[in-house]
Amino acid sequence: MHPPPMNILIENAENPGYLASNGEWTKHAAKGRDFGATQAAFEAATKAPIGRFNIVCCILQKPGFIIIPMDQGTGMGTSPRPVQGSSLVIAQPGRDGSSPERSGAE
């Protein structure tokens, strides 16, 4: 059995939006840059001038997200540090495919 098709995105955890191919931020997951793998997204995000970020696996068949919270980044006043205590979050998207609201998640 093959995993469902998905896009691997970077989400700004401080000001929700997805990193697009042009380097800008978009509220729509469908317009976010697909990094193809979580490792590629992680490496790009830790080198980019962004603060806290999430790696988001956007499942294409039945709209849903698997969110991997990351508590690090190089810019926006944060200091890089090892990921500790990050939990996996599975969420349903908003109607427009934008970042879902997650109560209690930081």
For 34-55, how does the pLDDT look when each residue is reduced to its tens digit (9 = 90+)? 999 999 999 999 888 888 899 9
The pTM score is: 0.65
Say which residue, 86 or 71, is predicted with more confidence: 71
Cβ atoms of 47 and 72 within 8 Å: the answer is no
Query: Is residue 74 over pLDDT 70?
Result: no
Mean pLDDT of 17-39: 93
Residue 26, both tokens? 């978009």
pLDDT of res. 43: 92
Amino acid 34: pLDDT: 96
CA distance 89 to 105: 9
Q: How far apart are CA 16 and CA 70, in angstroms?
A: 14
pLDDT at 75: 47
Sorted by where each begins, the domain ranges of the chain are 6-91
For the chain, the average pLDDT equals 73
Give Cβ neighbours of residue 7 (< 8 Å, ≥ 6 apart): 29, 32, 34, 57, 58, 60
